A and B are shown apart, each in its own frame.
Chain A
Amino acid sequence: MDIQVRVWRQSDSSDKGRMVTYDVKDISPDASFLEMLDVLNEKLILDGADPVAFDHDCREGICGMCSMVIDGVAHGPQRATTTCQLHMRHFKDGDVIDVEPWRAAAFPVIKDLVVDRSAFDRIIQAGGYITAPTGAAPEAHATPVPKKDADLAFEAATCIACGACVAACPNGSSMLFTAAKVAHLGLMPQGQPERDTRVIDMLQAQDDAGFGGCTNMGECAEVCPKGIPLNLIGRLNSDYRKALRNSAR
């Protein structure tokens, strides 16, 4: 199939940036979206032009590196799918496809479609862990975990930190990301001792990193490639209130 892509080009963080149109011809419907961009880049290089920079790595939907807004939707039209797992069979011959980077104050553009997501790491640094230095662990079966809690914790832990939630949010909020980690660790018995400080510190770090506030729009959960549910944000808020009450005591 033959398509046109309109791609955001920005040479570095100081450049203003612009959309540039390219023709991409003879693409197989079985090619992935990123493979389509590979084909475009091979052509640009041979034409002496600057290829499009984009983040990608595992290309199997788990590393969280790929990050494109496709036709206005973070990760594109297929639900619960990362950009790398999106295939061209979801488009048709003659389509004009817009490709843009994540846009959020906390994710500055580095080049073209590549953005800086280190703000997520700073949220985790603030408390997204269980303190368990190597060697200090008790026998694994010492603490059974009810299957229900373990399964819910797992669901929350499937977040790949791609940042689509932030890109989709009109406020540029990272609440779903933070809520997923708070839920994962807060559901495990091992995570209880730090439960209150974790939620308070992570939310503070989220504000410090320049993410916007949450107004329950729900766009984040709509685009999440891992299906992290919106109700985890309610859980986060409830944890936060409890933590504030406990710390006031």
Chain B
Amino acid sequence: MNDFWQDGEGIADTAAPDGPIETRWERRKFTAKLVNPANRRKLTVIVVGTGLAGGSAAATLAEAGYHVKSYCYQDTPRRAHSIAAQGGINAAKNYRNDGDSIYRLFYDTVKGGDFRARESNVYRLASVSVNIIDQCVAQGVPFAREYGGLLDNRSFGGTQVSRTFYARGQTGQQLLLGAYQAMERQIGLGTIEMNARHEMLELIVVEGKARGIVVRDMVTGEITTEMADAVVLASGGYGNVFFLSTNAKGCNVTASWRAHRKGALFANPCYTQIHPTCIPESGTHQSKLTLMSESLRNDGRVWVPLAAGDARKPGDIPEAERDYYLERIYPSFGNLVPRDIASRAAKNVCDEGRGVGPGGLGVYLDFADAIGRLGQKAVEAKYGNLFEMYERITGENPYETPMRIYPAVHYTMGGLWVDYDLQSTIPGLFVVGEANFSDHGANRLGASALMQGLGDGYFVLPTTLGNYLAAGPFATVPQDHEAVVEARRAVEDRISRFLSIDGDRTVDSFHRELGHIMWEYCGMERTEEGLTKAIGLIRSLRDEFWQRVKVPGTGEQLNQNLEKAGRVADFFELGELMCIDALHRRESCGGHFRAESQSEDGEALRHDDEFSYVAAWEYFGADRKPTLHKEQLEFEYVHPSTRSYK
């Protein structure tokens, strides 16, 4: 017992089959109950979010014959933030004959996640990876190809094989368009009812089952209650709790958080991925950060001056006075170490006063060697669009002067807890993609997010959701049912509360301040003292928010500040839980680095005896302690070892 949380019962059942790992998914598919094709159209499924996970799920479920209702906050289902993924998608095709296999992808992912992921799920992900590529090629996704017409591959951080499929620096966009086009085909056929510019603001739980959602039409402000036999959340991650991140401005935790408040456990919220190669901040106006694909580390060399405070231009610093610190510290992986390691190494050299650019918060990513070796043309062909993007944002030409990069929040491994079937602790509520916690442990490897989103949506969910729906259709819930009325009223009350405060601070000013607290105390390095302090700061800022926020306009119109207010209110509660989770986990693992738990040479130090579990949190109210439920992790195949990339 302590001031911040209480311990609850462990989670005993993850619904994963036992037996040899390579047969588990096959057996789950066989034991899953089926729904007769003629009965599927009588079953309605709500899918919230239209990124890779939500788009692929909606299209696949509609193709199977279910009636799908899809929601997204953007103006069309083609814009979700999956679109911004640059680098690629992993698959164990072994087209390079370099020793890759499903088992190796499974092994790399478990190890890359610092032994904090569930083996059964990861193995399944690795095994469906090969089907994803087949599916996307059939849809016409224009992957990069070799002169012989076959698919090209490249390598990514944390692996020693080339298994990443890509479409220049726009892999996410091309994969998302594949899913979007499949969705649009179903929309045209009438099997998907699409609701763009709609935001989910509450989950409706009837007799213990997820049966619907409350949504707001963002154009008219109309609030409606939408019912279904099951609800799928594919609403993405929560990196925007930091205000500055590589996420799109609209990315938010509201759908997940509303479900959490209704009883869905939230797992490992403190596992956040800070991506090492982003463009540094340029001033106080900064509204978001931009990622430079990790693929750049294939050819770019990361360095800082050897001496602290060296203010010379990069070109004036001779070789002997440069420190290519990743190559020096990690000779076998060099510039291609996993993201968490590269980020912390950058932070360390900047803490030593060796950072470059404004405020000393940056390191160089230098292509001079690659240009010398391959020629500018070849570098341009590989990374041209990324170089242009860098120049547009910074006004500097990276062919002539090295890029400046700094870590930024990029992805969240934590999310709603799901079992092997991707079902949350609320029956009938399924969670896919970044919104769930399931496959990446404490650190996600590059090019694995696209794989997981599409794996969940195309191949896993359609099987496991069918198993749940086989017991349906469930009794119709009338609009005047107590649970429906209550959920609707909660949404309406919250909106009128935001509009009536009429304070003297904007939503963004609160969000920015919350972000500062999170970055300072729950960012790349966390300590007991800092986290305790952060929890206090967040609580008082949250109180201030509810007293002083100013939301202009009305609820019956397009009101972007009202939308933001709702999201930021949820970020306050999430931010506090992240700090509590980070505080309770007195070990370092993956993206979670506790300063108190490091080896002599400053590497992350796990404590498997104490912390080899998933921390799943139960909500009891914004001012009450959450309860911790532990799901113990079993490693039958990949035995936990110290992760070394040296």
Contact B60 A134 (CB under 8 A): yes
The one of B168, B196, B392 in contact with A154, judged by C-beta atoms closer than 8 angstroms, is B168
10 nearest CB pairs, A to B: A144-B149, A129-B181, A137-B138, A125-B188, A132-B138, A154-B142, A30-B282, A137-B134, A31-B285, A57-B248
Contact A150 B144 (CB under 8 A): yes
**Is the CB of A235 closer than 8 A to any CB of chain B?**
no
Contact B561 A51 (CB under 8 A): yes
The one of B83, B136, B388 in contact with A63, judged by C-beta atoms closer than 8 angstroms, is B83
Contact with B along A127-169 (1 / 0, CB 8 A): 0111111111111110111110011011001101100000000
Interface residues on A, range: 35 or more
The one of A45, A85, A114 in contact with B561, judged by C-beta atoms closer than 8 angstroms, is A45
Across-interface contacts of B359 in A (CB, < 8 A)? none
**Is the CB of B283 closer than 8 A to any CB of chain A?**
yes
B464 CB to nearest chain A CB (Å): 14
Beyond A117-B75, A126-B188, A144-B145, 11 additional contacts (C-beta under 8 Å) are A51-B560, A53-B560, A58-B248, A59-B248, A62-B170, A62-B173, A121-B184, A121-B187, A137-B131, A137-B134, A147-B146
A159 CB to nearest chain B CB (Å): 9
Contact A128 B167 (CB under 8 A): no
**CA–CA, A139 to B388, complex, Å?**
35
Query: Can you name 17 A-B residue pairings with CB atoms under 8 Å?
Result: A12-B558, A38-B285, A38-B287, A118-B76, A118-B196, A129-B185, A132-B135, A132-B138, A133-B182, A134-B462, A140-B133, A144-B150, A150-B142, A153-B140, A154-B168, A190-B140, A191-B140
Contact with B along A19-30 (1 / 0, CB 8 A): 000000001101
**CA–CA, A32 to B462, complex, Å?**
42
Across-interface contacts of A132 in B (CB, < 8 A)? 135, 138-140, 182
Contact A45 B506 (CB under 8 A): yes
Across-interface contacts of A12 in B (CB, < 8 A)? 557-558
**Is the CB of B250 closer than 8 A to any CB of chain A?**
yes
Contact B75 A150 (CB under 8 A): no
Contact A124:B181 (CB < 8 A) given known A46-B504, A48-B552, A154-B142: yes
B583 CB to nearest chain A CB (Å): 32
The one of B138, B151, B393 in contact with A190, judged by C-beta atoms closer than 8 angstroms, is B138
The one of B60, B142, B184 in contact with A153, judged by C-beta atoms closer than 8 angstroms, is B142
**Is the CB of B501 closer than 8 A to any CB of chain A?**
no
Measured CB to CB, the residues of A under 8 A from B are 11-12, 27-28, 30-32, 34-36, 38-39, 42, 44-46, 48-51, 53, 55-65, 78, 80-81, 85, 87, 89, 110-111, 114, 116-118, 120-121, 124-126, 128-141, 143-147, 150-151, 153-154, 157-158, 160-161, 184-185, 188, 190-191
**Is the CB of B74 closer than 8 A to any CB of chain A?**
yes
Contact A38 B558 (CB under 8 A): no
Within 8 A of A (CB), among B117-145: 131, 133-140, 142-145
Q: Which of B250, B283, B552 has the most CB of A within 10 A?
A: B552
Across-interface contacts of B81 in A (CB, < 8 A)? 57-58, 63
**Is the CB of B617 closer than 8 A to any CB of chain A?**
no
The one of A35, A111, A151 in contact with B285, judged by C-beta atoms closer than 8 angstroms, is A35
The one of A55, A78, A184 in contact with B140, judged by C-beta atoms closer than 8 angstroms, is A184
B539 CB to nearest chain A CB (Å): 25
The one of A87, A134, A191 in contact with B459, judged by C-beta atoms closer than 8 angstroms, is A134
Contact A57:B79 (CB < 8 A) given known A81-B392, A137-B135: yes
Q: Which of A42, A130, A138 has the most CB of B within 10 A?
A: A130
The one of B74, B290, B462, B552 in contact with A45, judged by C-beta atoms closer than 8 angstroms, is B552
Contact B558 A114 (CB under 8 A): yes
Across-interface contacts of B310 in A (CB, < 8 A)? none
Across-interface contacts of B185 in A (CB, < 8 A)? 125, 129, 131
Contact B79 A140 (CB under 8 A): no
Contact A85 B286 (CB under 8 A): no
Contact B285 A57 (CB under 8 A): no
Across-interface contacts of A139 in B (CB, < 8 A)? 134
Measured CB to CB, the residues of B under 8 A from A are 56, 59-60, 63, 74-79, 81, 83-84, 93, 95, 131, 133-140, 142-151, 167-168, 170, 172-174, 177, 180-182, 184-185, 187-188, 194, 196, 219, 246, 248-250, 282-283, 285-288, 290-291, 388-389, 392-395, 458-459, 462, 504, 506, 508-509, 550, 552-553, 557-558, 560-561
Contact B151 A141 (CB under 8 A): yes
**CA–CA, A237 to B83, complex, Å?**
29
Across-interface contacts of A80 in B (CB, < 8 A)? 388
A53 CB to nearest chain B CB (Å): 6
Contact A35 B287 (CB under 8 A): yes
**CA–CA, A34 to B289, complex, Å?**
13
Contact B137 A65 (CB under 8 A): no
**CA–CA, A61 to B86, complex, Å?**
12
Contact A60:B550 (CB < 8 A) given known A45-B506, A124-B184, A160-B173: no
Across-interface contacts of A145 in B (CB, < 8 A)? 145, 149
Across-interface contacts of A131 in B (CB, < 8 A)? 185
B400 CB to nearest chain A CB (Å): 18
Contact A157:B177 (CB < 8 A) given known A39-B285, A65-B74, A132-B135: yes
The chain A residue with its CB closest to the CB of B552 is A45
Q: Which of B173, B246, B388 has the most CB of A within 10 A?
A: B173
**CA–CA, A116 to B220, complex, Å?**
13
Contact A28 B285 (CB under 8 A): yes
Contact A60:B84 (CB < 8 A) given known A125-B184, A130-B181: yes
Contact B138 A45 (CB under 8 A): no
**CA–CA, A31 to B395, complex, Å?**
11
The chain B residue with its CB closest to the CB of A150 is B145
